[in-house]
């Protein structure tokens, strides 16, 4: 099967258009035919922190002192009294001032304009000195009038000598414009500010004499739905979710999708995070989408047994009372959570429908129309601002037949779960993908409403093998654009974000410009992110494009490619200073490469001896435990099954939401009668705030230790560790025995782990 390769655009000898702009966003703007951008910032700091040549434009700083202030206005804002959530424009003004202040090294004031009149009901600007307000508003009105015919979230930044004015099609578009202007000032938003990035998620240059170059930048998104999915949410916590939402706004994504209660497991529930999350979404003006698998969440069989038939997990959709009760329960949920803008109306995963319903309606998809359309009709009266989404997935991936259809207001997400990422969706060499593309085209013909794609390029089953499938994603986006689709979304698991940073970032850029080529993206991203290591990192990305689903019999090829990729990382690491943000990212990617090679070693050991298989599994387990909080490896059941363990979702959720954690190395230890062994106890800093972790051992009869308790210091990725000598008595023990290691911090029990002893 043909595997798309990255476009071989030279990273060192970039085109003049790329070289003209020092920032990732600037390079992509120059490379995109869909956008018209101004020159890059005059006086912005280069890699060494030196100021560039001055150019005509708006001076923000002189010697680190602000030469003006940020003004904003929004007629809908009610924040003056305090408690109500402010307009996204107010947040945009605060963000613009905050980051400009960081760039120049001084404070930038923020001023609200009270109830301005004109055709720009909301907007913001950086204004020099005592420039008349009327001039700023007149410029904003001109841009707002031009934006009136543009898609929602479009924005314009116009910069002259006296001010830089930001307008948008919608208030959150003003926030997108603010981040666009900051990119012109040299700021980069590579990733969410997850704690494990330790300050390397963003790059803010120092330019005390910053001048914003004159000109106009206009951006319009090609897709209306630009999403990130919390999905299984193994590693979410409040801080990570806030960082994710913040990054989404910085990248112009507009919708966060959160499960009502993923799988009914109780580990990933919207209500558990609502208090902290909803205000963060509101202040940025983003959309919140809640729901997912499945109907049983709102009509549980244990509470409503009369609506179910034996052996099913979908209620009887032919029973009007059952449908009415389901709709009533959904409306009760949504009307008490007015922040939700989209409801995901899905059946259970692996749905088992009543046979009578399938006979009556013909297909599961046809039966779904009954439920989904009933919810839509009820919401038109009870909550008309809430839209309904359903997923074309599994047994219901085909469009409805026999005169059945979904209401045109329904958002349909096409979810090609079985597709391969070894080839683009339209690659004729893949018969599997060809079938999904045919179905997608059928959906485009059959459904009058919004049609989007539920993308699987961050599959959980790939574990954390590097899957930089950018060539496939770029070609897929072109297909979706040609079909007139409305958007795309993909998973956003925090714990392995760093190893997949480029995929997340490319997807965000592509959501605005689906014509973006992977070569264009890498040509801009690599020098911006890795500086002198860009060429070596181009080699790394070229060697990590394989779909991990192909591992199996191709393990030798994966081993060779990953080994070469790690060698490229080694070259890249030598080219940047130790302790720098770039070095931190490269060091973490090296950790990810080590883990990936350990994963592949399990496949290679499958045909070996039992001892070889055990050794490979144990190494992979220990690397997973060691790096699960470093941004490169997700501790979850998909990974644990690889080394022969079964992990509980609720336990793992507790792990990622705790301040600190611990583990023992190894998890299995041979200790014969009269023998000795060493068990290493590790403490880990989950939230990267630094912790003192207490540990204590519980030993089985006949085993002693040189110490049974202690305190370990854990700071960021630096774990605390202590080696404990174990001695077995002279009397042989029978069967397996266990040592339990309990961890606590600040008087709070964290976890306990077990080391199994064998004789």
Mean pLDDT (whole number) for 442-455? 98
Residue 500 has pLDDT above 60, yes or no: yes
Does residue 575 lie within any of the structural domains? no
Residue 90 has pLDDT above 90, yes or no: yes
Mean pLDDT (whole number) for 601-616? 97
Residues 282 and 369 sit within 8 Å (Cβ to Cβ): no
Alpha-carbon span 739 to 755, nearest angstrom: 5
Does residue 645 lie within any of the structural domains? no
Domain stops at, among 162, 184, 219: 219
Question: What would the two tokens of residue 698 be?
Answer: 């519980």
Does residue 349 lie within any of the structural domains? yes
Q: Report pLDDT for 470.
A: 98
Confidence of residue 47 (pLDDT cuts 50, 70, 90): very low
Residues 347 and 396 sit within 8 Å (Cβ to Cβ): yes
715 and 744 part of one domain: yes
- Closest Cα partner for 661 from 645, 641, 681? 681
Residues 236 and 230 sit within 8 Å (Cβ to Cβ): yes
- Closest Cα partner for 413 from 288, 261, 227, 153? 227
- Closest Cα partner for 42 from 216, 211, 217? 211
Summarize pLDDT for 579-590 with one digit per residue, the tens.
999 999 999 999
Alpha-carbon span 594 to 602, nearest angstrom: 13
> Domain with 287 in it: what CATH number?
3.20.20.80
Summarize pLDDT for 461-497 with one digit per residue, the tens.
999 999 999 999 999 999 999 999 999 999 999 999 9
Q: Report pLDDT for 586.
A: 99
- Closest Cα partner for 126 from 92, 102, 78, 155? 92
430 and 320 part of one domain: yes
H/E element holding 715? none
Mean pLDDT (whole number) for 620-640? 97
> Domain with 737 in it: what CATH number?
2.60.40.10
Q: Strands, E, within 121-177: which ranges?
A: 122-128, 155-159, 163-168
Percent of the residues in the chain that have a pLDDT greater than 70, as a whole number: 92
Residue 668 has pLDDT above 60, yes or no: yes
Q: Report pLDDT for 604.
A: 98
Alpha-carbon span 92 to 100, nearest angstrom: 12
Q: What is the per-residue DSSP string for 95-134?
A: HHHHHHHHHHTS---EEEPPS--SS-SEEEEEEETT--HH
Mean pLDDT (whole number) for 677-697? 98
Alpha-carbon span 647 to 688, nearest angstrom: 24
Mean pLDDT (whole number) for 237-261? 99
Question: What would the two tokens of residue 500 be?
Answer: 């997949």
Residues 171 and 87 sit within 8 Å (Cβ to Cβ): yes
Confidence of residue 114 (pLDDT cuts 50, 70, 90): confident
> Domain with 56 in it: what CATH number?
3.30.379
Please, what sign has the CA dihedral across residues 131, 134, 138, 140?
positive
Residue 128 has pLDDT above 80, yes or no: yes
Domain stops at, among 497, 515, 533: 515
Q: Report pLDDT for 27.
A: 60
Lowest mean pLDDT among 17-31, 80-94, 263-277, 605-619: 17-31
Alpha-carbon span 320 to 325, nearest angstrom: 9
Measured from the Cβ of residue 697, the count of other Cβ atoms closer than 10 Å reads 20
CA 529 and chain centroid, separation: 18
Q: SS3 for 467-500, per residue?
A: CCCHHHHHHHHHHHHHCCCCEEEEECCHHHCHHH
215 and 344 part of one domain: no
432 and 349 part of one domain: yes
Residue 38 has pLDDT above 70, yes or no: no
Mean pLDDT of the chain: 92
Summarize pLDDT for 152-201 with one digit per residue, the tens.
999 999 999 999 999 999 999 999 999 999 999 999 999 999 999 999 99
Mean pLDDT (whole number) for 344-352? 96
476 and 509 part of one domain: yes
Confidence of residue 119 (pLDDT cuts 50, 70, 90): confident
Does residue 671 lie within any of the structural domains? yes
Confidence of residue 82 (pLDDT cuts 50, 70, 90): very low
Percent of the residues in the chain that have a pLDDT greater than 90, as a whole number: 87
Confidence of residue 364 (pLDDT cuts 50, 70, 90): very high
194 and 240 part of one domain: no
Measured from the Cβ of residue 75, the count of other Cβ atoms closer than 10 Å reads 12
**For 403-432, b where at least 16 C-beta lie within 10 A, e where not — what string?**
ebbbbeebbbbbbbeebbbbbbbebeebee
- Closest Cα partner for 220 from 260, 262, 169, 256? 169
Query: Angle, nearest 10°, between helix axes 534-542 and 518-530?
Result: 140
Alpha-carbon span 567 to 555, nearest angstrom: 18
Residues 166 and 189 sit within 8 Å (Cβ to Cβ): no
Lowest mean pLDDT among 48-57, 454-463, 510-519, 696-705: 48-57
Q: Report pLDDT for 758.
A: 87
Summarize pLDDT for 7-25 with one digit per residue, the tens.
433 333 322 232 334 467 6
234 and 211 part of one domain: no
Question: What would the two tokens of residue 62 be?
Answer: 């002189």
159 and 229 part of one domain: no
Confidence of residue 602 (pLDDT cuts 50, 70, 90): very high
Q: SS3 for 620-670, per residue?
A: HHHHHHHHCCCCCCCCCHHHHHHHCCCCCHHHHHHHHHCCEEEEEECCEEE
Residue 268 has pLDDT above 70, yes or no: yes
Confidence of residue 54 (pLDDT cuts 50, 70, 90): very low
- Closest Cα partner for 547 from 496, 503, 577? 503
Does residue 234 lie within any of the structural domains? yes
The β-bridge partners of 213 are 57
235 and 194 part of one domain: no
CA distances 428 to 175, 397, 422, Å, are 42, 21, 12
Residues 126 and 69 sit within 8 Å (Cβ to Cβ): yes
Does residue 295 lie within any of the structural domains? yes
The β-bridge partners of 256 are 228, 288
Summarize pLDDT for 311-324 with one digit per residue, the tens.
999 999 999 999 99
Domain stops at, among 496, 515, 534: 515
Mean pLDDT (whole number) for 54-79? 84
H/E element holding 739? strand 737-745
Alpha-carbon span 469 to 507, nearest angstrom: 11
Note down the domain range covering 411.
225-515
Q: Report pLDDT for 33.
A: 38
Confidence of residue 733 (pLDDT cuts 50, 70, 90): confident
318 and 203 part of one domain: no
Alpha-carbon span 454 to 467, nearest angstrom: 17
Which CB contacts under 8 angstroms, 24+ apart, belong to 79-83?
none
Does residue 609 lie within any of the structural domains? no
Cβ burial, residue 567 (10 Å; 0-12/13-18/19+):
middle
Measured from the Cβ of residue 76, the count of other Cβ atoms closer than 10 Å reads 10
Q: How many domains are there within the chain? A: 3
166 and 304 part of one domain: no
Does residue 346 lie within any of the structural domains? yes
Residue 45 has pLDDT above 80, yes or no: no
Q: Report pLDDT for 25.
A: 62
198 and 231 part of one domain: no
Summarize pLDDT for 561-578 with one digit per residue, the tens.
999 999 999 999 999 999
Mean pLDDT (whole number) for 613-623? 97
């Amino acid at each position: 099967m043909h595997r798309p390769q990255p476009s071989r655009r030279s990273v060192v000898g970039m085109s003049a258009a790329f070289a003209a702009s020092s920032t990732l966003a600037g390079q992509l703007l120059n490379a995109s035919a869909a956008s018209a951008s101004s020159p890059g910032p005059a006086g912005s700091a280069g890699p060494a922190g030196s100021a560039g040549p001055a150019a005509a434009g708006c001076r923000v700083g002189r010697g680190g002192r602000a030469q003006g202030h940020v003004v904003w206005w929004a007629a809908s804002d009610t924040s003056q009294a305090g408690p109500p959530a402010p307009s996204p424009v107010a947040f945009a003004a605060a963000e613009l001032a905050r980051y400009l202040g960081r760039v120049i090294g001084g404070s930038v004031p923020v001023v609200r304009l009270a109830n301005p009149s004109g055709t720009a009901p909301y907007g913001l600007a950086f204004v020099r000195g005592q420039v008349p307000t009327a001039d700023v508003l007149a410029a904003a009105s001109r841009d707002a009038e031009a934006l009136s015919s543009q898609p929602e979230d479009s924005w314009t930044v116009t910069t002259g000598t006296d001010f830089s004015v930001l307008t948008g099609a919608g208030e959150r578009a003003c926030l997108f414009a603010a981040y666009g202007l900051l990119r012109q000032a040299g700021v980069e938003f590579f990733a969410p500010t997850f704690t494990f990035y330790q300050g390397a998620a963003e790059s803010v240059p120092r330019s005390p004499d910053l001048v914003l170059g004159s000109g106009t930048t206009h951006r319009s998104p090609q897709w209306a739905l630009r999403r990130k999915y919390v999905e299984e949410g193994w590693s979410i916590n409040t801080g990570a979710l806030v960082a994710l939402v913040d990054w989404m706004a910085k990248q112009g994504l507009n919708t966060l999708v959160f499960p009502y209660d993923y799988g009914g497991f109780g580990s990933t529930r919207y209500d558990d995070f609502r208090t902290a999350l909803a205000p963060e979404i509101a202040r940025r003006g983003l959309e919140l989408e809640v729901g997912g698998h499945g109907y049983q969440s709102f009509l549980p069989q244990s509470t409503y047994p009369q609506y179910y038939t034996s052996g099913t997990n979908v209620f009887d959709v032919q029973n009007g009372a059952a449908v009415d009760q389901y709709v009533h329960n959904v409306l009760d949920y949504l009307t008490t959570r007015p922040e939700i803008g989209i409801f995901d109306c899905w059946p259970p995963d692996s749905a088992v429908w009543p046979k009578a319903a399938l006979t009556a309606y013909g297909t599961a998809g046809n039966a779904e129309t009954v439920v989904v359309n009933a919810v839509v009709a009820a919401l038109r009266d009870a909550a008309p601002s809430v839209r309904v989404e359903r997923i074309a997935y599994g047994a219901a991936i085909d469009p409805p037949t026999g005169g059945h259809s979904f209401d045109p207001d329904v958002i349909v997400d096409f979810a090609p779960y079985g597709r391969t990422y070894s080839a683009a969706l339209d690659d004729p060499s893949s018969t599997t993908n060809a079938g999904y593309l045919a179905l997608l085209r059928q959906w485009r013909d059959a459904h009058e409403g919004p049609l989007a794609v539920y993308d699987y390029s961050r599959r959980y089953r790939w574990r954390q093998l590097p899957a930089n499938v950018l060539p496939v994603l770029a070609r897929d986006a072109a297909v979706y654009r040609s079909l007139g689709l409305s958007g795309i979304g993909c998973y956003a698991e925090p714990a392995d974000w760093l190893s997949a940073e480029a995929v997340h970032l490319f997807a965000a850029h592509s959501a605005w410009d689906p014509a973006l080529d992977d070569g264009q993206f890498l040509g801009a991203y690599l020098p911006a992110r890795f500086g002198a290591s860009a060429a070596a990192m181009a080699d790394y990305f070229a060697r990590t494009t394989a779909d991990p689903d192909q591992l199996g019999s191709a393990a030798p090829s994966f081993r060779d490619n990953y080994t070469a990729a790690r060698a490229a990382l080694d070259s890249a690491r030598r080219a940047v200073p130790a302790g720098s943000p770039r070095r931190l990212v490269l060091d973490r990617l090296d950790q990810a490469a080590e883990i990936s090679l350990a994963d592949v070693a399990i496949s290679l050991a499958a045909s070996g001896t039992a001892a070889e298989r055990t050794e490979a599994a144990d190494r992979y387990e220990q690397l997973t435990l060691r790096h699960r909080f470093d941004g490169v490896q997700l501790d979850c059941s998909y990974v644990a099954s690889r080394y022969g363990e079964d992990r509980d979702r609720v336990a793992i959720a507790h792990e990622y939401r705790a301040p600190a954690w611990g583990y023992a190395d190894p998890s299995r230890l041979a200790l014969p009668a009269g023998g000795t062994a060493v068990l290493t106890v590790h403490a880990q800093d989950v939230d990267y705030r630094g912790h003192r972790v207490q540990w204590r051992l519980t030993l089985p009869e006949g085993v002693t230790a040189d110490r049974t308790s202690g305190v370990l210091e854990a700071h960021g990725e630096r774990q605390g560790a202590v080696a404990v000598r174990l001695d077995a008595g002279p009397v042989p023990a029978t069967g397996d025995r266990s040592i339990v290691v309990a961890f606590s911090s600040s008087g709070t029990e964290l976890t306990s782990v077990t080391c199994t002893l064998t004789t």
